[in-house]
Amino acid sequence: MTLALAAGKVARVASRLRGGGSALPGLVTERVDPAVLRHTLAGLPRGIVVVSGTNGKTTTTKMLVAVLRGHGVRVFTNPTGSNFTRGVISAMLGEVTLRGRLDADCAVLELDEAHALKFAAEVAPTHALLLNVARDQLDRFAEIDHTARLLTTLAEQTTDGVVLNADDSFISRIVDHVGDGVAVHWFGVDPEIADRLPELQEADVRFAEDEVAPHIRDGDPVGLLHPDDERAFSVLLGGQTVGPVTLKQRGLAAMINATAATTTARALLGGDFDAASAVRALQAVTPPFGRGEVIDVDGHPLELVLVKNPAGFTVALGTYGSEPVATMIAINDDYADGRDVSWLYDVSFESLRETGVAMTSGLRGWDMALRLRYDGVETGRVETDLDGALDSFLAEHRGGPTRIFCTYTAMMHLRRRLAARFGLARFGEDTPG
């Protein structure tokens, strides 16, 4: 293992000097010692938590880590959205000694739905937080049932506890596959806002007639999101209330992610969980890069919003779409985005009709403009070159708020350019949630 970690650390230094991404050092380490994850993580005293699902992994992981650290727990995580196993290893290389010692009480890891199983084959998670299932990158994940099966298998391999989304039927049915002795916790929304769920998640119409959801048994612990207004909310945990909380990130989806993180923290900490500490931690969490991140462009906000599937784009438009802000949409179809962009036709862009879209860009910039045309949304200009589009968009709308909706590789490209231009932090380069 020492040789593998040494090779990885050398690759990490070389990669940083070249300005490269985060995956290569992990890949080098994994090639030398395929069992490096088991050797380094299996002995952590508070266990290993895997966060997976189609949407919200990066945000929820960041929130959960913040809440646990707010309670004094030492947490190892993969903070850059590097959610393949090699991304986890790359993140670990900066904190592990050559002898494999990791100075942490537990690991909280965001993992891609498919790579979570590869991870679990090496080291079984003690806990799993399963968020949702949506159509996403069909060329990688195939149909939605396949993604649900991946997460079901992950739950089957979890040893101590699972936290399930009571409002997502693909996730709630997983309870029937949890092993004996594994604790089940639930998170969801208060019934008074249940009518807003269709704007956030996929419907499984096949089970609409006989579905008895959620599959919560008497006595199962439940964390419920109770909104106070459009920005503030509380999480109801049995007889305990966590809140009011006002997040830096906007929208109902972010509130649900916070509810999931809070419920999981309560499950992990038990009697040591403190509501006031959780509130302070959640309110201090900044949006992860590209997910509603606000960048200061010469004194004016630029919001960078990742969109990668119909559910995610619909949620983003519901949160931001009706505001009169200069808007650009950048769509790529590289492997990490999913090569099939027909999902754009499953999104309604009517909320952009009044203000229009100033520019479309990316490899599929013309496809995006055509899609907008079908919804009666005027497009000012199409510029497929991302650098040229960004320069023109910022120049033409200097002095006012701006927003860019973008797929993953487009976001990564634009974020790098913005980082160089405005002194932003570095980040990783694996597929995000």
User: Is the per-residue pLDDT at 247 higher than 90?
Assistant: yes
What residues have CB less than 8 Å from 115, skipping those under 6 apart? 83, 84, 85
Residue 234 sits at φ, ψ, to 5 deg, of -130, 155
DSSP-derived letter for residue 426 is: P
Q: What was the pLDDT predicted at 413?
A: 94
**84-97 residue pLDDT tens:** 788 888 888 888 88
Mean pLDDT of all residues in 403-411: 95
Residue 312 CB-density burial (10 A; 0-12 exposed, 13-18 middle, 19+ buried): buried
Residue showing tokens 């309604």: 348
pLDDT band for position 431 (cuts 50, 70, 90):
very low
Spatial distance between the Cα atoms of 262 and 76, rounded to a whole number of angstroms: 18
* The token pair that represents 314 in the structure block: 């619909």
Residue 308 has pLDDT above 90, yes or no: no
The span from the CA of 431 to the CA of 428, in Å, is: 9
What values do phi and psi take at 305, rounded to 5? -125, 115
CA 298 vs CA 99, 248, 394, 423: distances in Å: 47, 21, 10, 12
Query: Phi and psi dihedrals of 321, rounded to 5?
Result: -60, -30
What CA–CA distance (Å, rounded) separates 208 from 204?
7
Per the structure block, which two tokens stand in for 206? 């096949």
pLDDT of amino acid 404: 97
Q: Which of 28-32, 135-139, 292-296 has the lowest mean pLDDT?
A: 135-139
Mean pLDDT value across residues 138-163? 88
Q: Up-side HSE of residue 302: CA atoms within 13 Å toward CB?
A: 28
Q: Work out whether the CA dihedral 59, 16, 338, 321 comes out positive or negative.
A: positive
Tally the C-alpha atoms within 13 A of residue 253's C-alpha that lie toward its C-beta. Answer: 25
Contact 165, 275 (CB under 8 A): no
Question: What pLDDT, on the 0 to 100 scale, is given for residue 166?
Answer: 94
Tokens of 308: 């990668």
> Region 101-124: what's the mean pLDDT?
90
Helices (H), ranges, 123-212: 138-141, 144-157, 169-172
Other CB atoms within 10 A of residue 411 CB: 26
Read off the pLDDT of residues 312-335 as tens digits, 9 standing for 90 and up. Answer: 898 889 888 778 899 999 999 998
Average pLDDT rounded to a whole number, residues 36-49 = 90
